Amino acid sequence: MIKLIKKFKDKSWFILLGTFIIYFIFKLIFYIKGVVFFDEGVYLGIAKYFASGGQIGYFEYIRPLALSTILTPFQWLPFSSLITGRIIGLLLMFMCILIVYYVTNRHFGKKAALWAAFIFATSISVITFGGYILTDLPAFIFALLALSFVLDKKYLFGGIAVGIGFLFKFPVPIVILPLIFCIFLKERKGFLIPSIKLAFGFAIASAPYFLFNFLYYNGSLVQRLFVPLVDASSIVQIETFIYQKTSIFLYLEELIKVEIIPLIFALFASWSYFKKEKVKIVCFWACALTFLFYFYFKVFRFDPRYVTSMIPFIAVLSGAGINIILKNKKNYLKVLLVLFILLLGFTTSIIYYKVPIKNDNSIKDVITTNKTNIITNTAFPIIYSSSKVNLIPTPNLGILYLTYKTDPNYNWLIIDPDSFFCEQDNYSCMETFNNRLMRIIDNNNILDCGYLHGTRIIILTKESSGMSKIECLNKIRMDYLESKPPETNTFFRIVLSFDLEENIKNTLLVEKMINELQKRNISTVLTIESDHIKLSQSSEEFFKNLSNIDIGIITNTDYLSEEFIRNFTLSTNKKISFIVPKDDEWKGKNISITPEISYCIDGSWDNTVLKIHCKKIDLFMVKNWSTGEFYNSSELETMYNSVLDNKIANNEYEIGIDISTYNITKEDYERFKNFINYTNNIRKGKI
């Protein structure tokens, strides 16, 4: 490519330079408005983490690492990480424009290439999402480059390009499928060796990522290498009302709405070249549509940003189409088209975010000078922080607050209240959240409040206050609502474990725990750890002697074992009345539930949707699951108070506490006894 650039005529060079300048001007308008994406904070946080050897910043294992790795050396410079990151983002976009030019020049000629680069640089999607600290466009550009190499029969380089794209964004390797199809169209019976070269090239380029996984993570080889990819994929497959449900028609509508001009020219080029360049045209559209169908079938939330996956391929074909239409036409027609496209791009830059994003420099200064560890639900503080950050973008305020209160390593909690969503017109949810937030504000020290890139934030501290709650809420234009006192209803779930002879482990201590709870009229349920258990005679006697207690089961399969329930009832004369979903991973599956099952009990984080009511476990008494170690008494009390502070739901609180008994000791039992006394005293208002 360097040789090609050196061979440019002056006119071509100046046109490309002008294209760069035009794109920079459009992006500058966005920068001035203060537009910042959530993901930019994440990638900068990972870069800070790498640059400091894990001492500061934030690491998110489900992210690709190429962009953060590029950003890492710049974290050692005495400049704003956002500014240096944006410079890298711009340079990557200039690279993208050059690659669009290179690919189009290789396959449709120089004049078409100049048009394609211009169309790409002024694309509404590229103007909107390019030039930021984001991975989408660089990743998909390498997919385009891979197609170009395959069409030129440079299969090893094609695989390397796919691998580099993968390092920027995990879904890029899906393009290998249409690339192999293209190889087949070109090579027919001899397609196997080129396909192997393609795969080998991908393996070479992607090897650094898998080497990092192998060295950084623990567990089996498969877990080390692939769990980040699997988890990243599963996250985007979770449906939530926060995001619009995906639809191929939404993507087509978005494509037509924002890219109608390039799309028309691309379709014209496809029609014009189809007879003499059939394989080439088919391959371009096969790659573009593969990404479209991937984001439709495998990503269950609609995001206009995913349209950028098609733009590089459309831009190349669009440049070819314009070149055909305007060939031998008057120059004024070319000038009019350029002006029209520039007008669209300028209008996009001006209209998008009409009002500049509100941003308080004082908040940035407070975060920049802070040296204490931070926990937050928004990525924007990571951009300015020089300390360790724990980002928990959870829709559950209780989990965020509980982590802050119970972990002594974090002295700041930065809350973005606008990130906790309620469904439209769900006034109960809104009231619950406001009540919960006000209780937190009432019971904690406020350091500062303000706006960070359009986001309202509240900084809580475990040290002295810097601002009153009324002053804080007025600053972020939020009304103060008096919070309502909680009413508590605590239940304990005792999880029974069994030895190799199917006897209940630690039976005597389990019986004593049940007696302690029943003596205080505290709701108690028993959970069998697996539906693969075949009860011994002593286990059967244990259950037969129970009275007034619900029994449930943790299922180990994707279906509920009716045989286990039937055998259990026959041998113990007791019923299984509730279930615990398998690994909290039943969401989206059609689970058959027998009539005997009246409810389920799952984790507070779980999104499993069942047709029966589900209670939630909010607190786990076991601290170390490999050893069975319990939290100590003070830790348990602190955790319980934190949960209590956040369990506001229609003025009734139900707190679920889990205790696994597989390795319980007499000392653990004493902790348990002290803890239930504590919860009972709170319930009776004695504390």
CA distance 228 to 244: 25
pLDDT for res 376: 94
The least confident of 177-181, 329-333, 536-540, 596-600 is 329-333
Q: What is the pTM of this model?
A: 0.75
Predicted local confidence at residue 589, as pLDDT? 64
According to the model, what pLDDT value does residue 105 have? 95
Q: Which residue has the tokens 């601290």?
A: 623
Q: Does 553 score more than 50 pLDDT? A: yes
Look up tokens 């990557």; give the residue. Answer: 92
How far CA 94 is from CA of 98, 337, 493, in Å, comes to 6, 22, 58
Residue type, 196: I
Beta bridge pairs of residue 175 = none
pLDDT band at 683 (very low <50, low <70, confident <90, very high): low
Six-digit token pair at 86? 């944006």
- Give the highest mean pLDDT range of 74-88, 320-334, 491-505, 659-673: 74-88
Instruction: Give the mean pLDDT of 40-58.
Output: 95
pLDDT of residue 427: 72
Report the mean per-residue pLDDT for the chain. Answer: 86
pLDDT tens, 250-297? Answer: 888 889 988 999 999 999 999 999 988 999 999 999 999 999 999 888
Sequence-distant (6+) residues with CB within 8 A of 426 are none
Nearby residues of 328 by Cβ (< 8 Å), 6 or more positions away: none
Q: Where are the alpha helices (DSSP H) in 462-536?
A: 469-475, 507-519
- CA distance linking residue 517 with residue 617, whole number of Å: 17
3-state secondary structure of 645: helix
> Are the C-beta atoms of 682 and 644 separated by less than 8 Å?
yes
Close Cβ partners of 54 (under 8 Å, ≥ 6 residues apart): none
**Length of the chain measured in residues:** 687
Cα 462 to Cα 393, 446, 516: the distances in Å are 21, 9, 36
Q: Region 42-50: what's the mean pLDDT? A: 96
pLDDT at residue 530, as a whole number: 81
User: What is the distance between the alpha carbons of residues 469 and 492, in angstroms, rounded to a whole number?
Assistant: 36
Among the residue ranges 146-150, 428-432, 525-529, the one predicted with the least confidence is: 428-432
Lowest mean pLDDT among 19-33, 263-277, 549-563: 549-563
614 or 558: which leads in pLDDT: 614
Count of CB atoms situated within 10 Å of the CB of 354: 7
Residue type, 189: K
Percent residues over pLDDT 90 in the chain: 43
Given a cut of 90, is residue 14 above it in pLDDT? no
* pLDDT greater than 50 at residue 409: yes
Give tens-digit pLDDT for 386-401.
Answer: 999 999 887 777 778 8
The neighbouring-strand residues paired with 496 are 528
Residues 258, 125: Cα–Cα separation, whole Å: 7
Asked whether 458 and 480 are in contact (CB, 8 A), the reply is: no
Tens of pLDDT, residue by residue over 639-653, are 887 777 665 433 446
The more confident residue out of 589 and 81 is: 81
112 CA to centre of own chain: 39
Helix (H) or strand (E) segment spanning residue 491: strand 488-496
pLDDT tens readout for residues 430-454? 777 787 788 788 878 999 999 999 8
Provide the pLDDT confidence category of residue 529 given band limits of 50, 70 and 90: confident
Average pLDDT over residues 137-150: 97
Q: How far apart are CA 496 and CA 510, in angstroms?
A: 8
User: CA distances (Å), 594 to each of 516, 591, 606, in order?
Assistant: 32, 10, 21
pLDDT greater than 80 at residue 75: yes
Cα–Cα distance, 412 to 502 (Å, whole number): 48
Per-residue tokens: 447:
């350091």
Lowest mean pLDDT among 80-89, 128-137, 664-673: 664-673
Indicate the angle between helix axes 81-108 and 136-151, nearest 10 degrees: 20
Q: Please state, in angstroms and rounded to a whole number, the distance separating the CA atoms of residues 589 and 614.
A: 16
List the domains of the chain with CATH numbers: 2-351 (no CATH), 361-475 (no CATH), 488-683 (3.20.20)
Instruction: Indicate the helix (H) or strand (E) that contains 108.
Output: helix 81-108
523-528 sheet: strands from edge to edge = 613-617, 599-603, 578-580, 550-554, 523-528, 488-496, 653-660, 619-620
| pLDDT for 607 | 66
Q: Is a pLDDT exceeding 50 seen at residue 83?
A: yes
pLDDT at 493: 92
Rounded to an integer, the average pLDDT of 562-585 is 82
Residue with tokens 């006000």: 438
Residues 6+ apart with CB under 8 A from 31: 86, 131
Tell me the per-residue pLDDT of 205-223, one tens digit each, with 9 for 90 and over: 999 999 999 999 888 888 8
pLDDT over 90 at 45, yes or no:
yes
Query: For residue 486, is pLDDT > 60?
Result: no
Tell me whether residue 310 is exposed, middle or buried, using C-beta atoms within 10 angstroms of its C-beta: 0 to 12, 13 to 18, 19 or more.
buried
Choose the weakest-confidence range: 84-88, 618-622, 626-630: 626-630
Measured on CA atoms in the order 552, 399, 558, 529, is the torsion positive or negative? negative
